[in-house]
C-alpha cells in the first residue's frame, strides 16, 4: 500500500510541476479577437463598438491578469496600431470605456508600456 501511495503522490507532483497554470497573453490571438473593433477605431463603425468588439475587449481584460501580461498586451496593440493607417487614437482610447471594462492600461499608440502597473 505504501508503494502505491508513493507512486500516486509522485504522479500528482509530476502533473503539478509540468502543468501550465495559464498560457499568459498571446498577441496573435488578441489581434485576431480584436479585429471586429477595427471598423469602430477607424471611424467607420458607427457611434458605438459592436458587441463582438466589446466581447473581445472583455476577453483582453481577462487574458491580462498580471502586470507582465498587461505590458505584453500594451506592446502588442501598440505595434499592431502602427500597422494600420487611419486609426483614430481618440476612438481607440475610448474603446474600453465604451465597452464598460477597464483593461488596466490605456489603448494608445503613444503610451509607454513600461509604466503600466
- Residue 57 maps to which CATH number? 1.10.110.10
Using CA atoms, how far apart are residues 86 and 104, in angstroms rounded to an integer? 25
The whole-model pTM stands at: 0.74
What percentage of the chain reaches a pLDDT higher than 90?
A: 55
Q: Greater confidence, 19 or 101?
A: 101
Q: Does residue 13 form part of some domain?
A: no
Residue 16, in any domain of the structure? no
Mean pLDDT of all residues in 57-76: 93
41, part of any domain: yes
Cell of 69: 501580461
Question: DSSP alpha helices (H): ranges in 1-117?
Answer: 2-18, 27-33, 38-41, 51-62, 67-82, 89-98
Establish if 19 belongs to a structural domain.
Answer: no
Position 17 in a domain: no
Mean pLDDT of 82-107: 89
Share the mean pLDDT of the chain: 80
Domain assignment present for 106: yes
The total number of structural domains in the chain stands at: 1
Domain that residue 57 falls in: 25-115
In which residue are the cell numbers 487614437 written? 89
Q: Is the pLDDT of residue 17 over 60?
A: no
End-to-end CA distance of the chain: 51
Q: What is the per-residue pLDDT for 6?
A: 31
Amino acid at each position: 500500500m505504501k508503494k502505491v501511495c508513493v507512486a500516486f503522490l509522485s504522479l500528482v507532483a509530476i502533473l503539478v510541476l509540468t502543468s501550465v497554470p495559464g498560457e499568459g497573453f498571446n498577441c496573435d490571438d488578441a489581434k485576431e479577437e480584436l479585429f471586429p473593433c477595427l471598423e469602430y477605431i477607424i471611424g467607420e463603425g458607427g457611434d458605438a463598438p459592436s458587441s463582438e468588439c466589446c466581447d473581445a475587449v472583455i476577453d483582453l481584460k481577462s487574458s491580462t491578469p498580471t502586470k507582465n501580461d498587461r505590458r505584453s498586451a500594451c506592446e502588442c496593440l501598440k505595434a499592431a496600431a502602427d500597422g494600420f493607417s487611419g486609426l483614430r487614437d481618440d476612438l481607440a482610447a475610448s474603446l474600453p470605456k465604451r465597452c464598460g471594462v477597464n483593461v488596466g492600461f490605456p489603448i494608445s499608440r503613444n503610451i509607454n508600456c513600461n509604466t503600466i502597473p
